[in-house]
Amino acid sequence: MVVAGLGDSGVLTAIHLARHCEVVGISVKPGLVSGQELGLRISRPDAWARDYRVDFERFRGLDRVRTIHGTLTGLDIGGQRVTITDPDGSTVIEDYDALVISTGVTNGFWRRPTVQTSADIDDELRQAHDIVARARSVIVVGGGAAAVSSAANIAARWPRTRVDLYYPGERALPQHHPRTWRRVGDRLDDLGVNRHSGYRALLPNGFECDRITGGVVRWTTGQMPAEADAVVWAIGRTRPNTDWLPAEILDGDGFVRVDSRLSVPGCPGVFAVGDVAATDRLRSSARNRADRLVAHNVRAHLDGRRLKSYRPKDHRWGSVLGPQPDGLEVFAPTGYAFRFPAWSIDRVLQPWIVRRGIYHGVRDTH
Ligand SMILES: Cc1cc2nc3c(=O)[nH]c(=O)nc-3n(C[C@H](O)[C@H](O)[C@H](O)COP(=O)(O)OP(=O)(O)OC[C@H]3O[C@@H](n4cnc5c(N)ncnc54)[C@H](O)[C@@H]3O)c2cc1C
Question: Among 218, 235, 252, where does a domain finish?
Answer: 235
pTM listed for this prediction: 0.96
Q: Mean pLDDT across the chain, nearest whole number?
A: 96
Structural domain range at position 209: 134-235
Centroid of ligand 1 to alpha carbon of 173 (angstroms): 19
Centroid of ligand 1 to alpha carbon of 310 (angstroms): 18
The atom of ligand 1 lying closest to the CA of 244 is 41
Centroid of ligand 1 to alpha carbon of 269 (angstroms): 22
Torsions phi, psi for 200 (to 5 deg): -110, 125
Q: How confident is the model at residue 204 (pLDDT cuts 50, 70, 90)?
A: confident
CATH of the domain at 206: 3.50.50.60
Query: Is it the case that residue 92 has pLDDT exceeding 90?
Result: yes
| Across 100-110, average pLDDT | 97
Question: Among 235, 261, 289, where does a domain finish?
Answer: 235
Probe target for ligand 1 pocket from 2, 6, 9, 149, with the most ligand atoms within 8 Å of CB:
9
Buried b (16+ CB within 10 A) or exposed e, 167-196: bbeebbbebbbeebbebbbebbeebebebe
Same domain, 8 and 152: no
Q: How confident is the model at residue 71 (pLDDT cuts 50, 70, 90)?
A: very high
Q: Total domain count for the chain?
A: 2
Q: Which residues contact 227 (CB under 8 A, 6 or more apart)?
A: 137, 139, 215, 216, 217
pLDDT of residue 236: 87
| Across 284-295, average pLDDT | 96
Question: Among 183, 212, 235, where does a domain finish?
Answer: 235
Q: Which residues contact 159 (CB under 8 A, 6 or more apart)?
A: 192
